């Protein structure tokens, strides 16, 4: 029987994943039984069993409130009724109880316990047997896996800095491009192994090509190495200092990455100009961009910034979906620093994810940049099984903009004025 290279490793990874899944299923069943014995209600992520939202408009809901609270015919009512206040009070209470935005910036909580005590805080102690398994897991993850992973990460980063620096001294040409590509791929794949990442790539025929934009949802800084270990990209980002600055300066010598100074990032037109110049050269690598601008917890996709969709390039959407049973890849940057976050990743069991390359998309004639961005975002959300949200990821650190409040005020005012105009004509 012929031996297929890598098949043994693949079977071993699938076997380990299957064995781990059995432990999680057993733990979940044990939790459910314990909850029933103690008359506790199991946590259901992102549902509270109280609020049932129907996709109705503001006008329809206010009309329903008026009908139920008054025997008058709606068309004969005055422009404003006191009962209208109940609509806004109810919406406010629903938003407080079931905030669909804020919870996207915290770790996804699972219904089951994954032996990490990180994604279900209601069940940190279930039984003695699981506690013993958890203790053994701590010893394995911290005393055996962590040193190996740190060694691999150090090796990958060191090779990246040294390799790209040496390649940078070569004259421009196909040989330099060939070496640069393989140095990048080799180093990123070593870094992926440092996280014990098990990645499944789908539809590789749709992988981004030169002169295009690779657009993906954003969960973690490791999204970069997840994608770059399967393709060759030009990175876009702000110039940093310290170790990150050393890596950036080495990488740009071997590959045309696009790094911006802090002052340039604030100038949207300058950024758009540099990106346009890059994609117009069809010999240059595809640019990897995360238009959300911040990390979301992999349960949804939030608003894409329109700047990347104004430059007229072909967009190659990519959907990334992590399996939180084996390790939570979400980076809560307001809670954890980069070093702490990487330590948490390296002390997880594994980072398991699926990557889908979607067919390329171009901006249509009757479509503006915002509509194009929303169409790409919807395609990514649909493929990755994520919730498609219109909210700006900037709400992670900022307050709601006044424009959102004014929009609701305009809708209500339009309804009142519209009713008044209709009665005037009659």
Residue 169 domain flag: yes
Give the CA-trace dihedral at 396, 397, 400, 402, to 10 degrees: -140
Residue 135 domain flag: no
Residue 129 domain flag: no
Return per-residue pLDDT of the chain as tens, 426 residues.
333 334 344 444 454 444 445 555 555 565 556 555 655 554 444 444 444 455 566 666 666 666 665 544 445 454 666 666 766 776 666 665 566 677 777 777 676 666 776 766 555 566 777 778 888 988 999 999 999 999 999 999 999 999 999 998 889 888 998 999 999 999 999 999 999 999 999 999 999 998 899 999 999 889 999 999 999 998 887 777 777 788 888 888 888 888 877 666 566 677 778 788 888 888 888 999 999 888 898 889 998 988 889 888 899 999 999 988 888 889 888 788 888 888 989 999 999 999 999 999 999 988 999 999 999 999 999 999 998 988 777 666 666 666 766 777 777 777 777 654 554 544
- Cβ atoms within 10 Å, residue 20: 17
- Cβ atoms within 10 Å, residue 105: 20
Burial class (CB in 10 A: 0-12, 13-18, 19+), 318: buried
Domain count for the chain, please give it.
Answer: 1
Residue 120 domain flag: no
Residue 100 domain flag: no
How much is the pTM? 0.76
Residue 347 domain flag: yes
User: What is the distance between the alpha carbons of residues 295 and 331, in angstroms, rounded to a whole number?
Assistant: 6
Residue 20 domain flag: no
Domain enclosing residue 374, as ranges: 155-399
Residue 24 domain flag: no
């Amino acid at each position: 029987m012929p031996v297929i290279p890598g098949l043994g490793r693949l079977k071993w990874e699938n076997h380990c994943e299957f064995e781990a899944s059995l432990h999680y299923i057993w733990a979940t069943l044990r939790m459910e039984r314990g909850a029933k014995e103690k008359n506790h209600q199991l946590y259901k992520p992102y549902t509270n069993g109280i609020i049932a939202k129907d996709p109705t408009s503001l006008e329809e809901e206010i009309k329903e409130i008026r009908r139920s609270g008054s025997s008058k015919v709606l068309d004969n009512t005055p422009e404003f009724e006191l009962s209208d206040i109940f609509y806004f009070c109810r919406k406010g209470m629903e938003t407080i109880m079931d905030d669909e935005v804020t919870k996207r910036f915290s770790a996804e909580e699972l219904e089951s316990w994954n032996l990490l005590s990180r994604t279900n805080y209601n069940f940190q102690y279930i039984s003695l047997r699981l506690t013993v398994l958890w203790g053994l897991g701590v010893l394995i993850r911290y005393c055996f896996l962590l040193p190996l992973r740190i060694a691999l990460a150090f090796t990958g980063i060191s090779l990246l800095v040294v390799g790209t620096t040496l390649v940078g001294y070569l004259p421009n040409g196909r040989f330099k491009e060939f070496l640069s590509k393989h140095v990048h791929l080799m180093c990123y794949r070593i870094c992926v192994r440092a996280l014990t990442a098990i990645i499944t790539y789908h539809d590789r025929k749709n992988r981004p090509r030169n002169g295009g934009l690779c657009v993906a949802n954003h969960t973690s800084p490791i999204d970069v190495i997840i994608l770059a270990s399967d393709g060759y990209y030009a990175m876009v980002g702000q110039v940093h200092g310290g170790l990150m600055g050393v890596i950036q300066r080495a990488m740009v010598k071997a590959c045309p990455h696009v790094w911006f100074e802090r002052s340039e990032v604030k100038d949207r037109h300058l950024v758009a100009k540099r990106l346009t110049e890059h994609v117009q050269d069809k010999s240059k690598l595809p640019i990897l961009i995360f238009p959300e601008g911040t990390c979301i917890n992999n349960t949804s996709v939030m608003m894409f910034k329109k700047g990347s969709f104004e430059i007229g390039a072909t967009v190659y959407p990519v959907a990334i979906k992590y399996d939180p049973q084996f390790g939570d890849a979400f980076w809560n940057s307001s809670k954890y620093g980069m070093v702490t976050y990487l330590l948490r990743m390296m002390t997880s069991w594994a980072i398991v994810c699926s990557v889908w390359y979607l067919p390329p998309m171009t901006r249509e004639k009757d479509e503006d940049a915002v509509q194009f961005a929303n169409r790409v975002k919807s395609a990514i959300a649909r493929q990755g099984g994520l919730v498609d949200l219109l909210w700006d990821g900037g709400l992670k650190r900022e307050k709601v903009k006044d424009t959102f409040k004014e929009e609701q005020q305009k809708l209500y005012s339009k309804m009142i004025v519209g009713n008044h105009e209709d009665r005037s004509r009659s």
